[in-house]
Amino acid sequence: MSGSILVVSGPSGSGKTSLARKLLDIIPNCYFSISTTTRKPRESESDGIDYHFTSKEQFLSEIDEGGFLEWAEVHGNFYGTSFRPIENALADNKTVVLDIDVQGHKTIREKFQKLVTSVFVTTKNMSVLKTRLSSRNTETSEILEQRVINAISEMRSIGEYDYFFVNDDFSESLDALTAIAVASRYKQSLTDNEAFIKTWKI
């Protein structure tokens, strides 16, 4: 067996990040990948916990050095997933949890096809999403509107994911995500079949 990758995606405001982080308290041998971003931290956010906050110049330099597994520009800011920590976690046979967008999911799926299990999380309708985004009180009306527009676009990617659920009840959603995370460790694609059969016959 090897490590595995669990990708959790969904519109901003769907609750995907809270669900993904909560897995750390439930699933043993789990690593939550912290993204790097050039946007400014919100009042409630801390560097190295919510994101690795950096400058645009430093981010672009790391792109040139091949340091990101995937990266994207969103709302005028850059977001990326550093490669080395994930490589180390997989070598340690851990479940790597990635909270990334649909573009990042495509990139990760292409690079780690056999290791990836993916989940798309959303709200029951657009009205609920708007309410959640507004309740943050951290962004301008223009940015909120752009997030809603992006959410509509992201919803078209649901079919590219292995699993999909509506996060209307956090406890039920966490149970669902936990079950998926546990099951992801037993995917047949994670096993070297020929090697296992040889040892099995001994």
Q: What is the pLDDT of residue 175?
A: 97
Among residues of the chain, what percentage have pLDDT more than 70? 100
Q: How far apart are CA 76 and CA 143, in angstroms?
A: 10
For 180-192, what is the mean pLDDT? 91
Q: What's the pLDDT tens digit per position in 50-81?
A: 899 999 999 999 999 989 988 888 878 999 98
Q: How far apart are CA 95 and CA 151, in angstroms?
A: 27
For 4-24, what is the mean pLDDT? 94
Q: What is the pLDDT of residue 136?
A: 81
Q: What is the pLDDT of residue 144?
A: 86
Q: What's the pLDDT tens digit per position in 128-184?
A: 999 999 888 777 888 888 889 999 999 999 999 999 999 999 999 999 999 999 999
147, 11 in Cβ contact below 8 A?
A: yes
Concatenate the DSSP letters of all residues of 125-174 into one string. Answer: SHHHHHHHHHHH--S-HHHHHHHHHHHHHHHTTGGGSSEEEE-SSHHHHH
For the chain, list the domains and their CATH numbers: 4-33+94-200 (3.40.50.300)
Q: How far apart are CA 97 and CA 181, in angstroms?
A: 9
Q: What's the pLDDT tens digit per position in 101-141?
A: 999 899 999 989 999 999 999 999 999 999 999 888 777 88
pLDDT at 1 over 70: no
